[in-house]
Amino acid sequence: MKPFTAVLIGAGARGAGGYAPYALDYPHELKFVAVAEANPERLAKFAEAHGIPKEHQYSSWEELLRQPQLADVAFICTQDRMHYHPTVQALEKKYHVLLEKPMSPDPKECVEMELAAKQHDRQLTICHVLRYTPFWSSLKKLIQEGRIGQVVSIQLNENVGYWHIAHSFVRGNWNNSDRSSPMILAKSCHDMDVLSWLMDQPCVRVSSYGSLMHFHSGNAPEGATDYCIDGCPAEASCAYSAPRFYFGEGKGWARHFTEELTRENIVKGLKETDYGRCVYKSDNNVVDHQVVNMEFENGATAMFSMSGFTRHQERRIQIMGTHGELRGEEGRIVLMDFLTHETTEIKIPPQTTGHGGGDSGIVRSFLKEVKQYGTSESLTSASVSVRSHLMAFAAEESRLNKGKSIELRDYYESLMNQEVQV
C-alpha cells in the first residue's frame, strides 16, 4: 500500500521534532511532500531531512494553503494563536487534519473548527497525546474492565517542575496568555482531557483558584540583573539561574533558542533571547499554581492541582472506585482490590518516543483512523476535545471570578448564543 502523503505547517519543536520523525521511522506509512515554516533554517533542515523539493517549501502556511491540495493529510503545529485559520482552510481544501493542542485560546473558535470538520467531511484530530500512551491507556483499560467498580472520585496532580515552569511558562512561549493561552489551556488541557476520558461522563460544573504567586518583580532579589548572565549578584543562590540550567541538566532545552548546541550559541541565546531573562523580570502573566474542582453528571468528582513548584516534571493520579483503587505515577500503576486485598503492580516500560510514547502513538492512530474514515470517531476528535477544552475555559472563567462555580451547560449555551461562523 502507498504511504499517506502529508504537509507540515510549522516545522518547530512539535511538528519537526515530535510527529514528523514518524515518517522517517515508518516511510511505508507516511511521507511529507510539502512544508510551510517561517524560520528559514528550520525550513531548510526539515526539507533536507524529508527530501522535500524546493517548489514545495513554503515560508508561510498561507502560501502553502493557496496551492491546490498537495497531500492527504495536514499536520498543523504552529503556535496556539495560529491554529484556527490554517485549520479551517486546510479542512476546506479537503485535508484530514492533525492539529496541535490547544485547538484555540478562543472557545468559540474551538466550536467553529469542530463544525468546519463536519461541514467539509474531514477528520480533525487534536494532539491530546496522553491518551495514546501505554500509561494512560492502561488506566483506561483497567477502569473499562471494571477492576475498581464505578469511579467515584479522581485526584490528579500535575507537577510541572520548577525548571520547566521557568523555561516554558515564565521565560518561554507560553508565559503570557495575551500571546498564547492561559496555563489551564496551554498545559492542563491535557489533564482536563484525560479526566473527562477516564470519567466517561459529561462534566457539569467546575470551580477553580490559582494565581501567579512567585514569578513577579515583587520577589526579585536585591540588585538582580535583567539577564542572569550579566553578572547577577543573586545567581549563585537562585534556583532559576538560566546559565546553570541551560549549561547543565537543561542543555537539551536550549534547542528552543538555538539550532546547534554550541557553547557560543547558548551564551548568545542567554544574552539575547527571553530564555536568559531573570524569572522575576520577565513579561509573564500565567499562573504558577492552580486547582480545579469538577463534578460529573453521575455525581462523581475530580480534583486537579497544577503546580510549578516540584523537583520533577510528572503527573500523579489516584482513581477511587467503589471496589478498588488505582494509583499511577511515572512508569507504574498500582491496583488495590477492596475484597481480596490483592495489590497488583503494573510496570510501564520507558518509551522511546516523546510524551511517554504519545507522539508516535497519535500519528499511528491518526493514520489508521483516516484510513477507516467514516466508520468510527477519532479517539481525540475535535468533538471530544471541544468538551474537555470547555472544562478548561470554564475553569479559567471561575478562577478569574474568585472561584465562582460555572455550569458547563450554561457556559456552552452562552457560547452558542454568540454568532458561530463556519
Ligand X SMILES: NC(=O)c1ccc[n+]([C@@H]2O[C@H](COP(=O)([O-])OP(=O)(O)OC[C@H]3O[C@@H](n4cnc5c(N)ncnc54)[C@H](O)[C@@H]3O)[C@@H](O)[C@H]2O)c1
Looking at 7, 12, 71, 95, which residue binds ligand X (CB under 6 A)? 12
Q: Which stretch binds ligand X (CB under 6 A): 33-41, 220-228, 390-398, 399-407?
A: 33-41
In the numeric block, which cell numbers belong to residue 322?
467503589
- The whole-angstrom separation of Cα 105 and Cα 166 is 21
Whichever of 285 and 301 has its CB closer to ligand X, that residue is 285
- The whole-angstrom separation of Cα 211 and Cα 257 is 28
- The whole-angstrom separation of Cα 27 and Cα 4 is 9
Q: Is 355 in the site for ligand X (CB under 6 A)?
A: yes
Q: Is 189 in the site for ligand X (CB under 6 A)?
A: no
Whichever of 74 and 278 has its CB closer to ligand X, that residue is 74
Q: Is 14 in the site for ligand X (CB under 6 A)?
A: yes
Closest separation in Å from C-beta 16 to ligand X:
8
Whichever of 84 and 296 has its CB closer to ligand X, that residue is 84
Closest separation in Å from C-beta 187 to ligand X:
9
Cα distances (Å, whole numbers) of residue 293 to 5, 359, 399 = 43, 29, 11
Q: Which stretch binds ligand X (CB under 6 A): 9-17, 141-149, 200-208, 238-246?
A: 9-17
DSSP-derived 3-state class of residue 295: strand
Q: Report which of 170, 195, 196, 193 is spatially closest to residue 183, judged by C-alpha positions.
A: 170
Q: Which stretch binds ligand X (CB under 6 A): 5-13, 137-145, 277-285, 324-332?
A: 5-13
Chain centre to alpha carbon of residue 275? 20
Whichever of 20 and 224 has its CB closer to ligand X, that residue is 20
**Per-residue contact flags (x/-) with ligand X for residues 43 to 82, judged by CB under 6 A:** -----------------xx---------------xxxx-x
Amino acid (1-letter code) at residue 219 = N
- The whole-angstrom separation of Cα 420 and Cα 373 is 26
Which residues inside 91-130 make contact with ligand X, applying CB under 6 A? 100-101, 127, 129
Cis previous bond, 349, omega within 30: no
Looking at 6, 7, 9, 30, which residue binds ligand X (CB under 6 A)? 9
Whichever of 112 and 191 has its CB closer to ligand X, that residue is 191
Closest separation in Å from C-beta 136 to ligand X:
12
Whichever of 76 and 278 has its CB closer to ligand X, that residue is 76
Q: Is 295 in the site for ligand X (CB under 6 A)?
A: no
Q: Which stretch binds ligand X (CB under 6 A): 20-28, 37-45, 212-220, 394-402?
A: 37-45
Closest separation in Å from C-beta 109 to ligand X:
13
Cα distances (Å, whole numbers) of residue 274 to 173, 277, 281 = 9, 5, 10
Whichever of 218 and 252 has its CB closer to ligand X, that residue is 252
Q: Which uninterrupted H or E stretch holds 36?
A: strand 30-36
- The whole-angstrom separation of Cα 320 and Cα 331 is 19
Q: Report which of 56, 50, 120 is spatially closest to residue 87, judged by C-alpha positions.
A: 120
Whichever of 102 and 276 has its CB closer to ligand X, that residue is 102
Amino acid (1-letter code) at residue 189 = C
Query: What DSSP string describes 315-379?
Result: EEEEEEESSEEEEEETTEEEEEETTT--EEEEE-PPPSSTGGGHHHHHHHHHHHHHHTTTSS--T
Q: Is 134 in the site for ligand X (CB under 6 A)?
A: no
Whichever of 37 and 112 has its CB closer to ligand X, that residue is 37
Closest separation in Å from C-beta 352 to ligand X:
17
Residues that bind ligand X (CB under 6 A): 9-15, 36-39, 42, 60-61, 77-80, 82, 100-101, 127, 129, 173, 186, 355
